[in-house]
Structure 1
Amino acid sequence: MRKIIVMLAVATVFASCQEDKGYFISGSVPDMENGKMVYVSEIDENTNRPKRIDSTTLEDGEFELDLEDPETPNLSFLEFEGLQGNVIYIAENEKINFKVYKDSLRTSEVNGGKENRLLYDYLGHLKNVNEEVTKGRSEMQSAFQEQDSTKLATLQETETEIIDNDKVYKKKIVKENPDSFVSIMVISDMLRMKSYPANEIKEMFDGLSEEVKNTAIGKQIAQNLEKENKVAVGSKAPNFTAPTPDGDELSLKEAMGKVTVIDFWAAWCKPCRVENPNLVRTYNKYKDDGLSVIGVSLDRPGQKDRWIQAIEEDGLPWHQVSNLKFWQDPVAQLYRIQAIPAAFVLDEKGTIVARDLRGDDLDNKIGELLNKG
């Protein structure tokens, strides 16, 4: 009898182990040959790039894999031998099922786990926003060609409303899901798209759970936010030193005025060249009242002549510096520059009081700071 009881106990434990699969994936890929490999990848914490962690094969168009339970959720991908692209999902200690469409991996269905439900709600929202904005801009182009100013204005208002609603939706996800991995993905998108000021994004980030903040993406965001906040409105502008066209060294501190504009531009940048006459007018208007401008050029290595020629052609009378390192310019990287033209407005103490203003908006802000409004 004792032997039978022991055997029953062992059987019960074995059955329990079989049922508690934790992180378990399965799925179907109709019309795909037997024996094709299915690869599982996840974002590597050290490289921040996908790394394959396991694999299985297709049998009768289906696959399944019992994986090691992740300590924290992680962005993961399914890849299939012979197919381009992948299926995105979040690894969590749940049973996750996939219905994969080999001719359109992006439309594959993922079911299982609260993280994946929220992820695919979010991805669906992004898809709808992109479709609406793309359609609206196509209609704007037609309205512009037809010179229909009323329709163009209406379409612009509609796009603004779509973008505003998108911001509200993203902020709601983060606020309502502080312990969700999806929230850190949303914040990452906000930071990349610069859709919110860095201080607001930091406030949202600080409201997340420690577990989420300690993920690989969370740690990267924390580092990026620290860098962004150094050049956010209200922060003291970081000092820098760079070569002038004459080969001398000039620092921001040396170029400061009562109001200072740091203007990031380049000879090859058409929007910058279009904006230059506006900044020239503003400079000539306020230079005697204490306005100083320092141009930081992102021109390419070996193209110093083009940089100097552009300064002469556009009649730029202010300080100019450049390391001639294109997007790798250390000053541009210090100020987190991802697009040009870009401008930072500093007060007399070197505090950043405004950024990314152009034309009349920049002129009015400088006039306000110099009490000339």
Structure 2
Amino acid sequence: MKKILFTVSLLLGCLFTSMAQGDSYKIEGRLANTVNGKLLLIADTENGMIDIGEATVTNGIFEFTGRMPEMTVVYLTPVKKTPVLATIMLENAHYTITLGTNEMIVESDSEAQKIWKEFDDLNKCLLRTQQQMDAQARQNISLQPKLQQEFSKIENKVLADELALIKKYSDSYVSAYVVAGKMLGMDDTKLTARYEALGEKAKASFYGKRVATKLAEMQKVAVGAIAPNFSAPLADGGVLALHETKGKVKIVDFWASWCQPCRQENVNLLKLYKRYRPRGLEIISVSLDDNKQAWLTAIGQDGSDWKNVSDLKQPSAIATEYLVTTIPRTFILDEENRIVAKNLRGKELEKFIVEMLKKKKE
């Protein structure tokens, strides 16, 4: 009987030891000796951001412990919650945080954290390149166009490498987090490719579900869809309804008086309008301004004598419906208000307009 009890006790002891090692997490901070204060751990969950821990930093030393039912993205922040000091793929594992030159370094035996590091290294490389090129452009403005072209190539290479990692770790929660984190700045084609690269497990995560929801919204303004109708006040009085506006080809252009690239593009649009309006081109500019005088002044300065509308709201309800997050942004519509192209500018836009008008003539 004693032998049986001893064996059961031994087994229970091994079980509890295993649980203590594998069913809890520990985050140890080793910062500079002079660092003091309080830090928070904030979890990004399906129900929003939730504080899951607070630690006091004494002479650079702090510690968080607890248990996670599943891998969760958490952010280490000061008590004021800004800025984010470190991103942690938190699961029941051991983490060590040290102070690097310009950042906090997270090291762990967590598989998810190792995967995140591969993605994060790509982002940091791109950010460093951008900062270097921005510095060069400030020193010599004439280099700006060339630097922008170079950066665009580098950015595309990084995005391609990132997509390769998404495919490599297709079932990882981390991949779903990366795709969701960048979806606002992506068009439907690129986002669809990334979503389709995810495995079923990653798609089932709440990050995967966020992406699926966004893609469903994007289909409403995708090439081939009928452009959402809207009505908005015109700059010279009255109200414009998109679907009632006649034109063999229509350009819906989102811009703002304070957006310099938009103002530069207005020069190209003016040339197009004068040249192709007699053949059936119509332009509807939708301003994101909330200051009426600034909007009207910019229209006058740029000579934008086509149809200009704005709801003068921040955010613009029209821009929200069209999922516009950056400007300038254009949608090209046919006579039936079907979206036939997006985000064309300059010579590329003119070539497309000419081809469409030629088809209408035929």
TM-score (ref. length: structure 2): 0.85
- Whether the aligned pair in 1 keeps the contact of 2:54 and 2:64 (CA below 8 Å) is no
Say if 1:333 and 1:84 are closer, same or farther in 2 by CA, change over 3 A: closer
1:267-306 equivalence runs, <5 A = 267-300=257-290, 303-306=291-294
Residue 86 (str. 1) matches residue 76 (str. 2):
no
Q: CA deviation at 1:312?
A: 3.7
- Whether the aligned pair in 2 keeps the contact of 1:129 and 1:166 (CA below 8 Å) is yes
1:224-256 superposed Cα distances (whole Å, 9 cap, x missing partner)? 222223222232211111222355332110114
Q: CA deviation at 1:35?
A: 10
Say if 1:24 and 1:322 are closer, same or farther in 2 by CA, change over 3 A: same
SS at match of 1:125: helix
1:16-55 superposed Cα distances (whole Å, 9 cap, x missing partner)? 12223324224242555999766432113223x3x21234
SS at match of 1:370: helix
Kindly provide the amino acid, as one letter, of the partner of residue 27 in structure 1.
E
Distance 2:298 2:340 in 1: 28
Q: CA deviation at 1:323?
A: 0.8
Q: Which residue of 1 aligns with 2:53?
A: 54
Q: CA deviation at 1:330?
A: 0.8
Q: CA deviation at 1:263?
A: 1.5
Of the three residues 242, 246, 249, the one matched with 2:232 is 242
SS at match of 1:108: strand
Of the three residues 321, 334, 339, the one matched with 1:347 is 334
1:108-162 superposed Cα distances (whole Å, 9 cap, x missing partner)? 23212211101012112211222123324434555655x8x9xx85x56643442
Q: CA deviation at 1:261?
A: 0.5
Say if 1:256 and 1:112 are closer, same or farther in 2 by CA, change over 3 A: farther
Q: CA deviation at 1:329?
A: 1.1
Q: Which residue of 2 aligns with 1:367?
A: 354
Distance 1:35 1:278 in 2: 56
SS at match of 2:218: helix
Kindly provide the amino acid, as one letter, of the partner of residue 318 in structure 1.
W
- Whether the aligned pair in 2 keeps the contact of 1:28 and 1:62 (CA below 8 Å) is yes
Of the three residues 91, 97, 110, the one matched with 1:99 is 97
Of the three residues 98, 120, 123, the one matched with 2:117 is 120
Q: Which moved more, 1:242-251 or 1:353-362?
A: 242-251
SS at match of 2:221: coil
Aligned length: 356
Say if 1:65 and 1:198 are closer, same or farther in 2 by CA, change over 3 A: same
SS at match of 1:296: strand
- Whether the aligned pair in 1 keeps the contact of 2:88 and 2:106 (CA below 8 Å) is no
Kindly provide the amino acid, as one letter, of the partner of residue 213 in structure 2.
Q
SS at match of 1:170: helix
1:258-292 superposed Cα distances (whole Å, 9 cap, x missing partner)? 11111212334333333223212211211121111
Q: Which moved more, 1:347-356 or 1:19-28?
A: 19-28
Q: CA deviation at 1:80?
A: 6.3
Distance 1:127 1:350 in 2: 42
Distance 1:35 1:15 in 2: 38
Of the three residues 196, 208, 214, the one matched with 2:204 is 214
Say if 1:33 and 1:271 are closer, same or farther in 2 by CA, change over 3 A: closer
Distance 2:250 2:95 in 1: 57
1:199-245 superposed Cα distances (whole Å, 9 cap, x missing partner)? 34224313423332233322222222222232222322111112223
Distance 2:97 2:297 in 1: 59
Q: Which residue of 1 aligns with 2:41?
A: 40
Say if 1:306 and 1:193 are closer, same or farther in 2 by CA, change over 3 A: closer
Q: CA RMSD in A?
A: 3.2
Kindly provide the amino acid, as one letter, of the partner of residue 240 in structure 1.
F
Distance 2:263 2:156 in 1: 31
- Please list every run of 5 or more consecutive structure 2 residues that lacks an aligned counterpart in the other structure: none
Say if 1:122 and 1:306 are closer, same or farther in 2 by CA, change over 3 A: closer
SS at match of 1:100: strand
- Whether the aligned pair in 2 keeps the contact of 1:212 and 1:218 (CA below 8 Å) is yes
1:87-115 superposed Cα distances (whole Å, 9 cap, x missing partner)? 211123x42221332x8683323212211
Residue 22 (str. 1) matches residue 10 (str. 2):
no
Say if 1:3 and 1:68 are closer, same or farther in 2 by CA, change over 3 A: farther
Of the three residues 177, 182, 191, the one matched with 2:174 is 182
Residue 201 (str. 1) matches residue 188 (str. 2):
no
Of the three residues 159, 169, 172, the one matched with 2:151 is 159
Q: Which residue of 2 aligns with 1:253?
A: 243
- Please list every run of 5 or more consecutive structure 1 residues that lacks an aligned counterpart in the other structure: none
Say if 1:292 and 1:84 are closer, same or farther in 2 by CA, change over 3 A: closer
Q: Which residue of 1 aligns with 2:322?
A: 335
TM-score (ref. length: structure 1): 0.83
Distance 2:78 2:267 in 1: 54
